[in-house]
Structure 1
Amino acid sequence: MNKPLRRASIFCLALIVALMGWATWIQGAKAGEYKEDPHNPRVAIGKYAAPLGNILVGGEPVTGSAATSSTLKYKRTYKDGPLYAPVTGFTSQIFGHNQLESLYGDLLDGSDSRLQSPADALTRTRAKGGDVATTIDPAVQKAGYRALDGKKGAAVAMDPDTGRILGMVSTPSYDPGTFAGSDGSDQKAWKKMSADPDHPEVNRALRQPLPPGSTFKLVVAAAALENGLYSSVDEPTHSPDPYTLPHTRTKLTNENRAAPCKNADIRTALQYSCNTVFAKMAVDLGKDKVKAQAEKFGFNDDKVDTPVRAGKSVYPSDMDEAQTALSGIGQFDDQATPLQMAMVSSALANGGELKKPQMVDKLTDGGGNTVQDFGPAAYRGGKAVSAHTAGQLKSAMQTVVDKGTGSGAKIGGLTVGGKTGTAQHGVDNSGTPYAWFVSYAEDGKGHRVAVAVMVEDGHAARNEVSGNGLAAPTARAMMKAALA
């Protein structure tokens, strides 16, 4: 072989080796990446080639699959879509997926390796999709949804003993089935939802922190008892009425000017929702002690997973004493989700023990066999407050319902405790306030439930906005359904 021909042969051989190396790298090292690339049409074709597994509520599927005439052979369907959208999320052939549909997408479409049999792995066959069993109680969910109908708001109900989320409602809601496919009507439905000024796609129960108003007074009261500022909820405080914010001339007053707030004990201050008492209490404690207590309940944690991640609830750090006073009544820069306030009430109802909020009970394969089980777990060590503090505040919350601002939550035959809240909104409180209610109920047989409700009803008259009037009826309905 002459020299030019030998060089050409070596060059061609090098090209073949390079091509084989490139193909091996693509099929080996990069195969997984390309397989999961959402821009790869084979991903969508594979996902929708067979019916998806389902999301279960009360043991029954609230999702399904329907055959189509397109290359994506099946699309997702939803039973009572608006009712359960805050739980399921959506999966769409065009617009992707979120919440449980996203977190457990591999299990639902059968591509989760835990579902594959040896034969499936050998033949590279996708297994039958598995199911996601939630902790949601359909009676509690329906009760909350009906009670909030026509309002913009959210509600969360928890089992204090286990952390299981029994209800998660967000209104207005949306029907994820209207844009689950890939034709023109699906695109129109998505566009309509996206343009809605009330943002029905937002899960307000998890993802919209707002000022908690007077419901935050429970956190301040807990800090006062835990740090020995007061020994019981019946010990008089040192609280002027009105209260001048430190280093200012601004006088803080109470909504009810006739309320006995001067030097009131914590029970009375919660009963009448005395701003002056808790503003001064926060200053007396100092922002660091209030913050430490708030964080034991879950504030400032940006990784609260249900398993859907919740928005961070915030108790601020950089405040002067006047700002600390306002933070003590749930204003200034305080922010809380309904889930967060349900966690506060749940810890108090459970003797101070806080369980991690959990919305999924177990995962199963296509044959109903358990793939993963989720049992109760303590949140950050579990101890938010002592049993003594929890008992004291439970008693005071009962007084709020029996004799105070939370009468709308009374349920015959049940012990109910609660705290109302009306949070300022807008510059100089120019907007319609947010109405809050946090509560718990017990039936005397060891069954308990904790609920938090928030209503941001911009259509209500300002003088009609109250936690008792707008939010407590929803809490009452959910607690009654849980303990019926």
Structure 2
Amino acid sequence: MTRYIRYAAVFCTLLLAALLVNAARVQVVQSRVYDDNPANRRPVIARYGQPRGDILVAGRPVTGSKDTREQLRYERTYADGPLYAPVTGFASQVYGTTLLEHTEDAVLAGTDPLLSPLALLKDLTRQRAPGGDVVTTLNRAAQRAAYEGLAGRKGAVAAIEPATGRILALVSAPSYDPSLLSGNGADVERAWARLNADPDKPMLNRAVRQTYPPGSTFKVVTAAAALDAGVVTDVDAPTDSPDPYTLPGTRTRLTNEGDGCEDAPLRDAFEWSCNTVFARLGVRVGAEAMVAAARNFGFNDPGLRVPFAVTRSTFDTTLDKAQLALSSIGQYNTRATPLQMAMVAAAVADGGQVRAPYLVERTVRAGGTTVSAAGLRPVRQAMRPGTALRLRELMSDVVREGTGTNAAIPGAIVGGKTGTAQHGLGNSGTPYAWFISWAQGPRQAQPSVAVAVVVEDAAADRGEISGGGDAAPIARAVMRAVLGS
């Protein structure tokens, strides 16, 4: 009898061991499989079971969390949602996350291991740390000035601190309220359908995800290439440029908007934006040197992140001379985001250096302890310091007495470049109005802000839209906001 009891005990022990081994297999070896199974609601319930961390601008949150008392308890809220949507993106219980809500999701949702001082205990208890906060580099006054300056017109504004690469403003218009997408009801689905069907594309981040022909603002790059290559050694010497200029190998004649461009010196050609002079300069510099110059400023870089991805700005690498001439005045296939053109202006302001732009200053725990900081940013020399100094003179002339007088700020040194970019089939579309600029306050040792503005106003009269008239006043408002801060 004792023997049978012993056999039963051994058999029960084996069964218990098998149960323990299977439990360990399910909970340890296959835990990731079950966690990621769409039928498992626990991670989703846990994700929305606590308030999300906030995104901060100038120390104040522009996001929040609302307790709905439902199974997915906390919904995202936004203060001034349309104003900050190109930065925050949305955090939706149905459609996921975008922009900072996406790239900083681990911090905001409390899943980043760095948020917990006792990471091992957190892994054992499967508890989330309270969501951390994301501190942005934005200047609140500059962001609002850019948004109000566009006043609902389609376009975008990007502003950078030249010496650091900190993004001070990032605005896209028209915009939308991200809180419309936060929950999970039928109204969220209707809002999603409406926003995606809108022909004005309010969810498109035009500042970093839309490229435009930069038009005459690209002449800053062409001038830098010509000065660095020694094609131009004296900005006040004649450039031997005909008007009109016949594109090499073609019968196409390139003209100018105004008079006085024939054989104009670089200073005058830059001030009055002579197409013929810069098209010919690009051909004289040569395709290889022009491609290298554009690359040094950031064109053709597919890896730019701020921390979310920025669409690549392009300058063709294989060009005949006629195509090179058009590309050198910001036409043909040359395309740029507003952020890229702000980087061009910032390089002129910072002695020829291009600093990687960034939007997140640091991330912090709920108690305020810093988790990570931006640190030193990569620096690339786009042009020689002497060339940058010459371009600062030329851009200052544009604002003082050229096509960019609407950007002037009393008491400050301001440099700028206007652009009116053609587009559409046969250039039939209403031109895009561009303005890039930088500003230095009266008690500052160097420029503290660089701005790029593009306005795509399809309702405007074709003959009236211009970089100096439409975009320069917006840039001036942004620069004044930064200088006033």
After TM superposition, list the pairs within 5 Å mapping 1:178-193 onto structure 2. Answer: 178-193=180-195
Alignment pair present for 1:399 and 2:408: no
Alpha-carbon distance in structure 2 between the residues aligned to 1:187 and 1:18 = 48
| Residue of structure 1 in register with 2:434 after alignment | 436
After TM superposition, list the pairs within 5 Å mapping 1:345-384 onto structure 2. Answer: 345-379=345-379, 382-384=380-382
C-alpha contact 1:355 1:376 (8 A) present in aligned 2: no
Alpha-carbon distance in structure 2 between the residues aligned to 1:240 and 1:441 = 34
Shift of 1:80: 0.3
Unaligned runs of 5+ in 2: 1-12
Alpha-carbon distance in structure 1 between the residues aligned to 2:337 and 2:30 = 41
C-alpha contact 1:163 1:376 (8 A) present in aligned 2: no
Alpha-carbon distance in structure 1 between the residues aligned to 2:227 and 2:125 = 64
After TM superposition, list the pairs within 5 Å mapping 1:32-71 onto structure 2. Answer: 32=32, 34-35=34-35, 40-71=40-71
Deviation by residue 1:111-142 (Cα, 9 ceiling, x = unmatched) = 11111232433322111000000000100000
Unaligned runs of 5+ in 1: 1-12
Alpha-carbon distance in structure 2 between the residues aligned to 1:456 and 1:19 = 67
After TM superposition, list the pairs within 5 Å mapping 1:85-100 onto structure 2. Answer: 85-100=85-100
| Residue of structure 1 in register with 2:83 after alignment | 83
C-alpha contact 1:37 1:43 (8 A) present in aligned 2: no
| Residue of structure 2 in register with 1:212 after alignment | 214
| Residue of structure 1 in register with 2:3 after alignment | none
Alignment pair present for 1:137 and 2:139: yes
- TM-score between both structures, scaled by the size of structure 2: 0.93
| Residue of structure 2 in register with 1:167 after alignment | 169
After TM superposition, list the pairs within 5 Å mapping 1:296-375 onto structure 2. Answer: 296-375=296-375
Q: Secondary structure in 2 aligned to 1:143?
A: helix
Give the number of aligned pairs: 468
Deviates more, 1:233-242 or 1:132-141: 233-242
| Residue of structure 2 in register with 1:252 after alignment | 254
Measured at CA, do residues 14 and 194 of structure 1 come closer, stay the same or move farther in structure 2, by a change above 3 Å?
farther
Q: Secondary structure in 2 aligned to 1:483?
A: helix
Deviation by residue 1:65-120 (Cα, 9 ceiling, x = unmatched) = 00113210000000000000001111000111111101111111111111123243
| Residue of structure 2 in register with 1:154 after alignment | 156
Shift of 1:376: 3.8
**Among residues 419, 422, 432, which one is paired with 1:421 in the alignment?**
419
C-alpha contact 1:314 1:335 (8 A) present in aligned 2: yes
Amino acid paired to 2:89: G
Measured at CA, do residues 236 and 138 of structure 1 come closer, stay the same or move farther in structure 2, by a change above 3 Å?
same
Amino acid paired to 1:155: V
Amino acid paired to 1:150: G
**Among residues 200, 213, 216, which one is paired with 2:202 in the alignment?**
200
Shift of 1:350: 0.5
Deviation by residue 1:164-200 (Cα, 9 ceiling, x = unmatched) = 0000000000000111011122222111111110001
**Among residues 368, 385, 388, which one is paired with 2:386 in the alignment?**
388
| Residue of structure 1 in register with 2:4 after alignment | none
Alignment pair present for 1:276 and 2:283: no
Alpha-carbon distance in structure 1 between the residues aligned to 2:226 and 2:391 = 11
C-alpha contact 1:87 1:100 (8 A) present in aligned 2: yes
Alpha-carbon distance in structure 2 between the residues aligned to 1:19 and 1:456 = 67
Alpha-carbon distance in structure 2 between the residues aligned to 1:411 and 1:16 = 81
Measured at CA, do residues 423 and 48 of structure 1 come closer, stay the same or move farther in structure 2, by a change above 3 Å?
same
Shift of 1:21: 7.4
Deviation by residue 1:393-424 (Cα, 9 ceiling, x = unmatched) = 01000111111111110111111110001111
Alpha-carbon distance in structure 1 between the residues aligned to 2:470 and 2:286 = 33
Shift of 1:29: 4.4
Shift of 1:261: 1.0
Q: Secondary structure in 1 aligned to 2:221?
A: helix
Alpha-carbon distance in structure 1 between the residues aligned to 2:450 and 2:482 = 10
C-alpha contact 1:414 1:441 (8 A) present in aligned 2: yes
Measured at CA, do residues 25 and 246 of structure 1 come closer, stay the same or move farther in structure 2, by a change above 3 Å?
farther
Alpha-carbon distance in structure 2 between the residues aligned to 1:416 and 1:33 = 58
C-alpha contact 1:351 1:391 (8 A) present in aligned 2: yes
Alpha-carbon distance in structure 2 between the residues aligned to 1:206 and 1:115 = 29
Q: Secondary structure in 2 aligned to 1:239?
A: coil
Amino acid paired to 1:387: P
Alpha-carbon distance in structure 1 between the residues aligned to 2:241 and 2:37 = 62
Shift of 1:238: 2.0
Alpha-carbon distance in structure 2 between the residues aligned to 1:241 and 1:34 = 72
Measured at CA, do residues 347 and 37 of structure 1 come closer, stay the same or move farther in structure 2, by a change above 3 Å?
farther
User: Identity over the aligned pairs, expressed in percent?
Assistant: 51
| Residue of structure 1 in register with 2:6 after alignment | none
Deviation by residue 1:26-70 (Cα, 9 ceiling, x = unmatched) = 543443355356774323211110100000000100000001132
Q: Supply the RMSD in Å over aligned alpha carbons.
A: 2.0
Shift of 1:23: 6.3
| Residue of structure 1 in register with 2:128 after alignment | 126
Deviates more, 1:119-128 or 1:75-84: 119-128
Shift of 1:15: 12
Measured at CA, do residues 421 and 19 of structure 1 come closer, stay the same or move farther in structure 2, by a change above 3 Å?
farther
Alpha-carbon distance in structure 2 between the residues aligned to 1:185 and 1:398 = 51
Alpha-carbon distance in structure 2 between the residues aligned to 1:428 and 1:111 = 52
